[in-house]
Amino acid sequence: MSRKIKIASLWAAMLVMVSSCSKDLEDRLVGNWKLKIAWKSQPSGASELYTGYENGLFHLENNGKASYTEGTDTLTGYWKAGKHNKGIYNNSEGHWESRNMQFLLINIEDRQQIRRLEWRFDDFDQKNDGRTIRAVQYTLGYDRIYEFERR
């Protein structure tokens, strides 16, 4: 086999592995989720954070579509999850560091009511056998943490 074919085969295999890992990650998030609690964590302590999205239900479909329903209001759009390496400021230890993380993006809107939500979570993990998602937005000085439970 020529060198070019070997290199092309290696790249193709790596692409399949990366895309399948991302797909497995997304498959675990498909379903209905309710925002249970959100809070701001800073060196001086934590304080609850009201988002306005505590009373409804987020629905993540396996085709990347997303919606949020609260009463008769529905926001629609898309969602995506994957892996990335990102530099963050570690507020608890007081220094910059690079981490391998799982990102989650939820982008939904209701154009008639001029209501839009774009949440970009820098990292998330699942707990309680996949029944809970803890998502984090890292910022300089404090972090915002959101917990969702499967419904």
* Per-residue model confidence as pLDDT tens digits over 113-151: 899 999 999 999 999 888 999 999 988 878 999 999 999
Q: What is the pLDDT of residues 32-87, one digit of tens each?
A: 999 999 999 987 889 999 999 999 999 999 999 999 999 999 999 999 999 999 88
Q: How far apart are the C-alpha atoms of 71 and 91, rounded to whole Å?
A: 38
Which amino acid would we find at residue 130? G
Its pTM surpasses 0.85: no
CATH code of the domain containing 133: 2.40.128
The whole domain housing 141 covers 3-150
Tell me how many domains the chain contains: 1
